[in-house]
Structure 1
C-alpha cells in the first residue's frame, strides 16, 4: 500500500493509483523551497523524456484529450504560484516545502506532490519525495493510464535523480 507522507497536502485524498519516490541528498542552502524544486522539475528533463511527451501529445490529440498549448519554454520565468500553467501541468497548491501540480481532464485527474523534507538540517541532509495520485473519471482513464504507468514510473525516477543531481 502506498504511504503518502503525513505532512503532504495530498494525504487523505481519494485515488485509484498512487506511487511515491523518495531520495535523500545533501544541500547547503537551508532556504531551499518548493518553488525552486518545482522549477527544477520542469527544467531538468532529458531529451528522451521530451520526445516521449511529444509522442504522447500526438497520440492523445487524436482522442480529444488535453495537450499543452506550448512546451515548457517559459518554465524558467515563472514564480511557481497556484494557478500558473506549465505545459500540461497546473500548479494547484504551494507551501514553503511542497508544491502540488497536476491536471483535471475528462478521463482522469492527477496530482503530483514535490515535497521537500528538512529531516536533518544539522547534517545538511534533505529528502525529496515525489508522490503521484491518479483518479480515473471513467473507463477511458483506466485504458489511457494502463500503457502510461510503466513509463510514468521510469520518468519520475529519472526526474527525481535529475533534480537531486542539479541540487548537489
Structure 2
C-alpha cells in the first residue's frame, strides 16, 4: 500500500474557507471498499484506533511537557475502546485533544484551538470514478500560529509530524481493509 504526499485537496472544507495557513500538508492513499459502506465516521474511528503505539507514547510525552506551559492536553482516556464505541463524530464532540469542527458525508475536520496555535486535520474520502470499489483517502493538516511560541513549539513537532501522518494513514487504511 502506497501513501503519497499530495496537493491540498481543492474540495476540502479547509480549502473552501479561503484561510491562509502557516503550515499545511496532505497525504493520500487508496482504500478498498467493495460494498461501499465505509463512511467518514469510520475513517475517523480508525484514525483514533489504529495509530502506532509509539505515536501514543509521543503524545503522552508531549502532554507531560506542554502542561508546564499551560497548553491543552485533552481528557485522559481510560477506556479507549469504550469511548470510540460511544463516539458519534458529531460537531463539537471531543475525543482526547481532538474536537470535531465539521462533518460531511465525505469529510471530517478535527482539531483544536489553543493559545499558541490552531490546528485542523481533514480526513477526506473520494470515490475513484475509474474503480468504483476504491476510495482515495486524504489526510490534510493545517496549522495557524497565534504567536511566537506557536512557531517555536511547532519547530521540533514538524519532523515528527511528517513521519507520523503517513504512517497513521497507512494504519487507517489497513484497519479498514481488514473489515471489508
The TM-score by the shorter chain falls in which range? over 0.9
Count how many residue pairs are aligned between Structure 1 and Structure 2: 167
1:5-154 equivalent positions in 2, closer than 5 A: 5-11=9-15, 12-71=18-77, 73=80, 74-120=83-129, 122-154=131-163
SS of the residue aligned with 1:58?
helix
SS of the residue aligned with 1:5?
coil
Are 2:110 and 2:120, in contact at CA under 8 Å, matched by a contact in 1? yes
Are 2:72 and 2:97, in contact at CA under 8 Å, matched by a contact in 1? yes
- Is 1:158 the counterpart of 2:167? The answer is yes
Q: Distance in 2 between matches of 1:119 and 1:15?
A: 28
- The Cα shift of 1:121 comes to 6.8
- The Cα shift of 1:25 comes to 2.5
Which segments of 5 or more consecutive residues in structure 2 lack a partner in the other structure?
1-5
TM-score norm. by structure 2 comes to 0.88
**Backbone CA RMSD of aligned residues:** 1.5
Q: Give the stretch that moved more between structures: 152-161 or 72-81.
A: 72-81
Are 1:90 and 1:101, in contact at CA under 8 Å, matched by a contact in 2? yes
SS of the residue aligned with 2:108?
strand
Counterpart of 1:3 in structure 2 is 7
Which segments of 5 or more consecutive residues in structure 1 lack a partner in the other structure?
none
Q: Distance in 1 between matches of 2:101 and 2:130?
A: 28
Are 1:30 and 1:121, in contact at CA under 8 Å, matched by a contact in 2? no
Q: Distance in 2 between matches of 1:113 and 1:137?
A: 20
- The Cα shift of 1:42 comes to 0.6
Are 2:51 and 2:172, in contact at CA under 8 Å, matched by a contact in 1? no
Q: Give the stretch that moved more between structures: 71-80 or 135-144.
A: 71-80
Counterpart of 2:3 in structure 1 is none
Q: Distance in 1 between matches of 2:66 and 2:131?
A: 47
